[in-house]
Structure 1
């Protein structure tokens, strides 16, 4: 009986260490934005900005699942995150994933860019964002700046948010509630519209 008890304790400790290490590893993806980076967004406030459209018919670039393809910056919470190709479980361990589907596009194309990340690691502060805040995606030498237009919660199996769009939109999705323990039943959705593009 004592051996069973010791085994259960060791098993529990092993599981705790495994998930604890995974959590710590994913948290390493989060970086603080410095003052110079934050200053780049001082011209954008929470007033409504006119949406713009891309004037290019760029073709999509081929990436392998897990390739690092860019960076997401969120000035309101002073954080930036690496963006990887794909939203599978392994890829999201590294940071933010860009969804690849027939309904979504890459940032340099007109349409719907879709990003996802775990709420208990990279996206735990996303609930602090408000309509009017800006977010930016660096991709292939340009920075695509979006302004948040809508925030809402939906069922975790709701695929209606992953739709084709004929204008330049960015959707960020994460699990919800943020402090929920276990498999969260909802998704927190941040929808934003392209308002500027800066080339380096």
Structure 2
């Protein structure tokens, strides 16, 4: 009797974990559709649209890294926003402006593609006004989280993508960051 009860409880616990995991995956996939819809509305009227009414963010860009599927970039790199996609750090340059546009993402979801980023690879970033900015990767590097000089802005238009490192870590709390540094190029220079 006791063994049967333990087996039933174990089975129910396992089932509950599977259901919860499935719910989280479904929620994340549905959120992407809502974010895409908000982005399309923003492209039409040039105003920010929240993906759901209680959201404290909105999509600010559409990002293509090499030949990978596009990612929608959210405003504000908070933990809550990063759960749904890469996010632009506020207080940094906007795409196309002199300075450093910084976008952060999680290494095990949206920015897992950065593990394959290579010098010379192209990145495209579309803004709410519909304009597409082209960037060429000039370097990738690994830095300690305390090294923040890469955040500084200069006179050139830069895009920096940042995620935790190493990519295959099984635990959180990484102290290293993987950076992709890209410089803006004219659309005619993108294939050069």
Q: What TM-score, normalized to structure 2?
A: 0.70
Match of 1:126 in 2: 114
Match of 1:36 in 2: none
Contact kept? 2:48, 2:58, Cα under 8 Å: no
CA distance in 2: counterparts of 1:145 and 1:184, whole angstroms: 33
Contact kept? 1:177, 1:184, Cα under 8 Å: no
CA distance in 2: counterparts of 1:14 and 1:169, whole angstroms: 46
Contact kept? 1:23, 1:121, Cα under 8 Å: no
Match of 1:34 in 2: none
Deviation at 1:4, TM superposition (A): 11
Matched positions, count: 165
More displaced, 16-25 or 65-74? 16-25
Deviation at 1:27, TM superposition (A): 6.2
Question: Cα deviation per residue 1:3-57 (whole Å; 9 max; x = unaligned)?
Answer: 9999899788767765665466446749xxxxxxxxxxxxxxxxxxxxxxxxxxx
Alignment of 1:38-187 (within 5 A): 65-76=56-67, 78-101=68-91, 104-139=92-127, 140-185=129-174, 186-187=176-177
Contact kept? 2:57, 2:75, Cα under 8 Å: yes
More displaced, 65-74 or 186-195? 65-74
Deviation at 1:196, TM superposition (A): 2.1
Question: Cα deviation per residue 1:161-200 (whole Å; 9 max; x = unaligned)?
Answer: 21122210000001111111121421110000000259xx
Gaps of 5+ in 2: 34-46, 51-55
Deviation at 1:141, TM superposition (A): 1.3
CA distance in 1: counterparts of 2:21 and 2:79, whole angstroms: 14
Residue 169 to residue 10, structure 1, CA distance change in 2 (3 Å): farther
CA distance in 1: counterparts of 2:145 and 2:157, whole angstroms: 24
Secondary structure, in 3 states, of the residue corresponding to 1:125?
A: helix
Match of 1:190 in 2: 180
Question: Cα deviation per residue 1:92-148 (whole Å; 9 max; x = unaligned)?
Answer: 1221100112xx111132211000111111111211111000101000210000000
CA distance in 1: counterparts of 2:79 and 2:49, whole angstroms: 17
CA distance in 2: counterparts of 1:157 and 1:6, whole angstroms: 49
Contact kept? 1:26, 1:94, Cα under 8 Å: yes
